[in-house]
Structures are given as C-alpha cells and as structure tokens.
Amino acid sequence: MVFAMAVPEVIPIAYVPRDRTETIGRYAGGQFLASITYAFPEGFQLDEGWEAHKRLYVVLHTFDTEGRYRDSDIWCAGTWAEQLHGPDGDASVLARARVHLAKLLRSLPRRAYTDITVRPFQVTVDDVLFGLVIREDEGETWAELYPDRLEFADPWDGRYLT
C-alpha cells in the first residue's frame, strides 16, 4: 500500500522561468508570489455576455521569510470583452496588466526570482478567491493556487499541475 504524504505546513513552489511561476521569489522583506490571471466572480455561471464578467487581475502576494502571509495587492486591469475590443497596443487590457505587474515587482527591494515556501492563505476581492487553499477530494489532498488553478501535491517538490 502507498501512503501519500500529508500536506506540509509550508508549501514549496518552484520558480520556473518563462512559465506560470516566473514571477515568484524573495526580496528584502521576505517572499513574494505575483501573477497576471483571469478570473470569474465566485458562483458565476457561463452564459451569454460572459466576456464582460471574465476579469484580468494583477496579483502580488507578500509573505515573511517563514512563509506567513502578509498582504496582497490585487488590481483589475479590465475584462476579456475589453481585451477583445482592443487587443493590441499600449491601451489593451493585457498591456496595462503587464505594465502594472512590472511596477509592483520593481517596488520590491533586492528582488530575486527563486523558489519559495509559503503557508496556505486566502483573501477575497471582487467576489474572487485569491490564495493558496488546501483542497481534498476522494481521499486526495493538495494545495491549489487561486484563481490561477495551479495544484501542488505529493511529492511536494514545488512543481505544479494544472
């Protein structure tokens, strides 16, 4: 019989350049986890006009050196409908999001992109869940990053599943 490892108190997240965990690391004040991600409000049902409800967020979570949650800077750059209407140029939703993320990352003194270890946390903004949440289903347990939907699980090596 194989026993899965229990969820560790502090979850490792691996830095992977040019991938979904490329904007994580350490800075003078501790650790950070940043991303650009689309999300729907909690409980939203897809129907006609869904494009106006799918929002693009710029997210920066900070943690102390022990991985305890400190704070989040969460900013909505616009909707999928707005991005479709103006997909190119500096005024596009995605371009605005990238500029805002770069500004947030530049604000972190002595920033270094590297693996991190953080404790589960959650915060809700605009009816959207953000955080690293412990999930369980059919005897399996994992940590899931919301709203990015990255799953971290046994063998708890920092690599994610989608």
**Using 50, 70 and 90 to split pLDDT, how confident is the model at 3?**
very low
pLDDT score recorded for residue 2: 44
pTM: 0.92
Model pLDDT for residues 4-17, shown as the tens digit of each residue: 568 999 999 999 99
- Residues counted in the chain: 162
Annotate 10-43 with b (16+ C-beta within 10 A) or e (fewer). ebbbebeeeebbebbbbeeebbbbbbbbbbbeee
Q: Where are the domains of the chain?
A: 11-40+52-161
153 contact partners, CB below 8 Å, separation of at least 6: 140, 141, 142, 143, 161
Model pLDDT for residues 44-103, shown as the tens digit of each residue: 888 888 999 999 999 999 999 999 999 999 999 999 999 888 888 888 999 999 999 999
Q: Which contiguous run of DSSP H or E holds residue 8?
A: none
How much of the chain exceeds pLDDT 70, in percent?
97
Mean pLDDT computed over 126-154: 95
pLDDT score recorded for residue 4: 58
Cis peptide before 155 (omega within 30 of 0): yes
Average pLDDT of the chain, as a whole number:
94
pLDDT score recorded for residue 28: 98
pLDDT score recorded for residue 79: 94
Mean pLDDT computed over 101-109: 98
Q: What's the Cα-to-Cα distance from 148 to each of 13, 63, 129, rounded to whole Å?
A: 13, 18, 10
For tokens 């989040």, name the residue.
Answer: 72
